[in-house]
Amino acid sequence: MRMYLISDNVDTKTGMRLAGVDGVVIHSIEHLKEQLDYAVSDKTIGIVLITEKLAREFPDIINDVKLNRRLPLIIEIPDRHGTGRGPDFITSYVNEAIGLKL
């Protein structure tokens, strides 16, 4: 299985390409839908990396694939501008998941 990148900027695509990950830069919602359909239909793609910005802008489209498909696994990654998550993201995630204050 291989990884496939769906990005909103060229810098992220270039960096991932240097690591051996193919991908595409998205500029419209139609192109995003087209590329997600491609990734879902290609049985060699096991992981789709998508920038956090795209996931925040189009959560319905991304969540549909996450919730209704077994493969590919959708992973949100930060882009060159950094993450949109707070500095205590992991701690708060664990607190919510298991109900313990760390």
CATH at 75: 3.40.50.10580
**DSSP-assigned letter for residue 35:** H
Report how many domains make up the chain. 1
Average pLDDT over residues 60-80: 85
Q: 98 or 81, which is more confident? A: 98
Work out the pLDDT band at 99, boundaries 50, 70, 90.
Answer: confident
Task: Show the domain range for 38.
Answer: 2-98
Mean pLDDT over the full length of the chain = 85
CA distance readout (Å), 16 to 22, 34, 64, 70, 84:
7, 20, 25, 24, 19
Question: Which carries the bigger pLDDT value, residue 9 or residue 82?
Answer: 9
Task: Kindly indicate the confidence band of residue 3, based on its pLDDT and cuts at 50, 70 and 90.
Answer: very high
Give the three-class secondary structure for 75: strand
Per-residue tokens: 3: 């990884």
Task: Please tell me which residue, 31 or 99, carries the higher pLDDT value.
Answer: 31
Instruction: Considering only residues 102 and 62, tell me which one the structure prediction assigns the higher pLDDT.
Output: 62
